[in-house]
Amino acid sequence: MVGHGKLSADNGVESHPADAAHYTGDNVETGHVSDVTLFDEDSGVKRGLKNRHLSMMALAGIIGPGLLVGSGGALNSGGPASLLIGFGVIGIIAFFIMQSLGEITTLFPGGGSFVSLAERMVDKSFSVAVGWNYFIIWAAVLANEYNVICSILTYWVPQVPLWGWFMILWSLFMGFQLLGIAAFGEAEFWLALFKLLGLTAYFIFAIIYASGGLAGQTEPLGFRYWHDPGPFNGNGFRGVATVFVFCSTFYAGVESVAVAATETRNPGVAVPQAIRQVFWRIIFVYMGSAFFFGLTCNADAEDLVSAEARALRSPMTIAIQNAGWDGGVHLINAFILVTCLSAINSSIYIGSRTVLYMAQSGKAPRILGWVNRRGVPVAAILLTNAVGSISMMNVSTGAAKAYGYIVNLSGVSTFLVWGSISFIHIRFRRAWAVRGRDVGELPYKSLGWPFNAYFGLAANMFLAIVQGWTTLSPFVAGNFVDAYILLPVFGLIYIVCKLYWRSSDPFKRAVDIDIDSGRRTDLDKTGFVAGEGVPGSQMPIWKRVWNFL
């Protein structure tokens, strides 16, 4: 089923990644490897992502309409204080989740990441439930991104209908994904850098605007919108609870560096580095956006979220218009459009790899596990991109309503997946202790163990339960189902798989957990810059600082 999944079939060589340099004649001294070792023997995907690709994905990958546009709904629902609280609380949880994920993924960077590790540390039924919930996140996120980008293009060129823009973009993204992992990595690197620069420019504008430094300002803006309509926009804790769902969707994707580990040249170096950089992503991107959006945009703006609107409005757009520059809407829309390109590209990548690894391990139809000779999972990419058509509910419901429906699905899925990651980490540490292994043997040790894992599990279980609290009063059946449907679905998948595979134990015993197989070695010599063959001692100072951060 896999083009390069079994190298012995294509090259007459029995492949062992841990000894790749030995049997392929790789020149370890120069940091170069042969084409044979560039393909993961288990999945067939190509290990073409460099350290800088994964680092930039950790810093700014997946940042798109969820943050730049969806934050408008969160601001309107809860106010600027709720936005800060939501981003802060979810940020703390995300940081602990990434610590757990970094420890186990650095040790086992094989295909499927935490979906495969769920089977290794818990059992196969649990892995199926986690995997399909994770796919649901990216199906929902992809649909939202198509929703936003089509709305922007329709705003500029109304002569082309929404479905027309969708078909054009669908074809373009499908073609680009088929180019392979190297093209994806380079595109994500430069698009992520552009997003960071764009956010930095907006933050500078916000500081000048709040300080009264713009031409034509008669007085500083200051914290006017924190006083009117108020820090919580009159919604109190109800608004805070609503914001949690939005924020979980915005944060979805920080764990994607683990999914990309299999296609990384040097996971032992790149993954821990990327995990550390998630901290700066939380502080600068999320907390910075929460603060400056609430500072420069009034939470009760009529255009922020409108049920009748065919296009969503970003807090950035409204802030620039309030500052007196009506033409700025085109600049912000252009920035959002570029971020959409990156976010759609990443969503297709993560969703396709998730279903690919599930198919190759018997948790999805086998056809989805096929990889061509260039290491591209064509069938999985086609399926993932196809689910983006959910965004066409925009045509009948409007962009704002469509966005709200899909956000609820992706939000609760994020809590379920993050809680599962914490549980997997707990099971791994239990197995490690039972075998009498020394924690010092781990290539990356999570900060705050055991608090981080148990807190992550408890917090995500709590948020998964309370995130739909606002749908109870007034009770709206449709919203209630949308908020909670995935909780019983997760359990149903688990129970059905248990019955199908006739498994009676809730999960594996710690002594039966495999903690040795599935490790990978870096393709480039230790001390070399990935893909460049440059000894660490000869790196420029700026690159050493970058790697340290």
Q: Sketch out the chain's domains with CATH numbers.
A: 38-548 (1.20.1740.10)
165 contact partners, CB below 8 Å, separation of at least 6 = 149, 150, 153, 154
Closest Cα partner for 61 from 192, 164, 153? 192
Question: What pLDDT, on the 0 to 100 scale, is given for residue 295?
Answer: 92
Average pLDDT of the residues of the chain: 80
Backbone angle region of 475, left / alpha / beta, with phi > 0 → left and psi within -120 to 50 → alpha: beta
Output DSSP code: residue 13. -
Q: What DSSP string describes 265-304?
A: S-HHHHHHHHHHHHHHIIIIIIIHHHHHHHHHS-TT-TTT
b (16+ CB within 10 A) / e for 156-165: eeeeeebeeb
State the sign of the Cα–Cα–Cα–Cα dihedral 462, 468, 469, 472: negative
The Cβ of residue 45 has, within 10 Å, a number of other Cβ atoms equal to 27
Contact 116, 331 (CB under 8 A): no
The Cβ of residue 461 has, within 10 Å, a number of other Cβ atoms equal to 16
Cα–Cα distance, 431 to 511 (Å, whole number): 6
Question: What pLDDT, on the 0 to 100 scale, is given for residue 276?
Answer: 80
Phi, psi of 535 (to 5 degrees): -60, 145
Phi, psi of 504 (to 5 degrees): -100, -30
Question: What pLDDT, on the 0 to 100 scale, is given for residue 289?
Answer: 92
Backbone angle region of 520, left / alpha / beta, with phi > 0 → left and psi within -120 to 50 → alpha: beta
Residue ranges for the chain with pLDDT beneath 70: 1-37, 40, 42, 111, 305-312, 391-409, 519-549
N- to C-terminal Cα separation, the chain: 41
- pTM here is 0.82
